[in-house]
Every structure is written in C-alpha cells, then in structure tokens.
C-alpha cells in the first residue's frame, strides 16, 4: 500500500516568511497527490492537487509540484499570513488496487505570528 | 454549496453507552469513509463504504460498526463506548474517481467518553 512521510511540526513563522512543508511518498502505480488543510476546530479541506508527473497544483498562494523522480510533493508559499495558521496534510492516493483510498500523513501544524 | 454534514460537533457519552455518529452527504457520492483523528497519530481509517449496504474494514475497525442503508447516509456505531474512543471523528465522501477529485470532509464530531 501507499505510505507518506511529511515534515514534522510544529512550524512557527513570522508573517510574510517563506513556507516549505516537505512530503515524500511511496505508492503503487502512479497516484494522484493532494494537500489538505485543517483550520482549528474544522474538518479537512482540499487545498490543491496534482494528478500526474510534473503537474503543479496551486491555490490561495500555495503551490506544490508532482516530482515523480524524487516521489515528492512539497508544499510552498512565498509569503504566509496569520490566517494560514492550520494543520496541513499530504495525501497520495487513487492508484493501484485501492483506487478509492487516500493515505494521509500525520499532519504539520503551522503557526504564523504577526 | 455541496457538503458533508455530521450531525453533532461535540458529544459527551458515558462508558458502555451505544453511540451513533451520523454523516450525510448531498453530492451523490458512492464512497463514504469514517476516520478518527488523534494527536500524533494523524487520520486513521475505521470503515468505508463503496455502495449502499456495502462496507469494508479500515485500519482500526475494532469496537466500531457502520451502517449504510441509503446512499447519502453513513453511520458509525460504537457498540459500547470506552474512554479510549475519545477522539475527533471525521466523515468523508468521494466519487469513484478519487484520483481526480479527492475527498470531501465534514466538520468533524469531537466525542468525549467519560
């Protein structure tokens, strides 16, 4: 089955700093790759996705590129805001015999200070 | 706006009680999932269903059962609640083409068993 390793948090940044959250995965076949975000007290929301190699997903200033050669999908944002404080989850899935299944990382807590 | 609705945001139950957590989606999705989320452990899949009356065990099914009598509703049942089932429970749904669209999550139910 799939597995995912994402950068352990917590990550604390000042407003307008550059953000990288690393994510690497192992998977059967060629999975799609997703980043989800969870704001305090809420469920997970889809942040961005990429469905094939070299695709770049983007949303709300966040970006991640599907790197098949390094099996990575690192999340980046050039200038974070206080409102970006949340937990971020990397999730490969939708491939191989379990094409319904996403495998979630343990999550990375991001805190952005003003 | 399409959504997944979980019937309760917060729930407090006593040890030994039978507990029902309800989830309803209005997107006509075939797949539905129940996860629990615990600090340091991330999301763990309890059960999922790919069709009405169909269900399969996830990674941690012990102590839980599920019911899916209608396509839009997926219930998680704690037959005899225990304190180690205190957790955040997240419901999700998806189309069969998970790799294209990912999951849609509900807002979660925070269950405390005392």
> How confident is the model over A80-106, as a mean pLDDT?
87
Average pLDDT over residues B52-73: 95
pLDDT of residue A1: 74
A100 pLDDT tier (thresholds 50, 70, 90)? confident
Which of chain B's residues have a Cβ under 8 Å away from the Cβ of A34?
102
pLDDT at A12: 97
By the 10 Å C-beta count (0-12 exposed, 13-18 middle, 19+ buried), A58 is classed as middle
Task: Give the pair of three-digit tokens for residue B6.
Answer: 């979980």
Angle at B90 between CA B86 and CA B91, to 5 degrees: 135
DSSP string over B11-74: EEE-TT--EEEEEEESS--SEEEEEEEETTTEEEEEEEEEETTEEEE-S--TTEEEEEEETTEE
Which residues in chain B have Cβ-Cβ distances shorter than 8 Å to A31?
Answer: 99
The reply to whether residue A102 touches residue B108, judged by beta carbons under 8 angstroms, is no
Pick from B50, B105, B108: CB nearest A100: B50
Residues contacting residue A57 through CB under 8 Å, at least 6 positions apart: A33, A35, A48, A49, A50, A63, A64, A65, A66
The confidence score (pLDDT) of residue A39 equals: 95
Contacts of B95 by beta carbon, 8 Å cutoff, 6+ apart:
B27, B29, B30, B31, B101
Q: How confident is the model at residue B18 (pLDDT cuts 50, 70, 90)?
A: very high
pLDDT at B99 over 90: no
C-alpha distances (whole Å) from A90 to each of A93, A106, A110, B82 are: 10, 8, 14, 30
What is the predicted pLDDT for the residue at A97? Answer: 62
Cα angle B39, A14, B108 (rounded to 5 degrees) comes to: 30
CA distance A79 to chain B (A): 26
Q: Is A102 on the interface with B (CB under 8 A)?
A: yes
**Would you call A92 an interface residue with chain B, using a CB distance cutoff of 8 Å?**
no
Q: Residue A64 forms beta bridges with which residues? A: A57, A75
pLDDT score recorded for residue B1: 65
């Amino acid at each position: 089955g799939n597995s995912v390793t994402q950068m352990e948090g917590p990550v604390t940044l000042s407003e307008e700093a550059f953000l990288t959250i690393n994510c690497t995965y192992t998977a059967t076949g060629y999975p799609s790759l997703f980043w989800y975000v969870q704001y305090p007290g809420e469920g997970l929301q889809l942040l961005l996705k990429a469905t094939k190699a070299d695709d770049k997903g983007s949303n709300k200033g966040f970006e991640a590129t599907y790197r098949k050669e390094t099996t990575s999908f690192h999340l980046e944002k050039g200038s974070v805001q206080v409102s970006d404080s949340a937990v971020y989850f990397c999730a490969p899935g939708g491939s191989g015999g379990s094409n319904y299944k996403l495998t979630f990382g343990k999550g990375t807590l991001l805190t952005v200070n003003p | 706006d399409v959504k997944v609705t979980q019937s309760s945001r917060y729930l407090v139950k006593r040890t030994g009680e039978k507990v029902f957590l309800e989830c309803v989606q209005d997107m006509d999705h075939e797949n539905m999932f129940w996860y629990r989320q615990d600090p340091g452990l991330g999301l763990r899949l309890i059960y999922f269903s790919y069709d009405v009356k169909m269900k399969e065990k996830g990674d941690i099914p012990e102590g839980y059962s599920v019911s899916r009598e209608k396509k839009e509703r997926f219930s998680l049942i704690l037959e005899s609640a225990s304190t180690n089932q205190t957790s955040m429970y997240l419901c999700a749904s998806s189309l069969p083409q998970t790799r294209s669209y990912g999951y849609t999550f509900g807002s979660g139910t925070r269950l405390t068993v005392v």
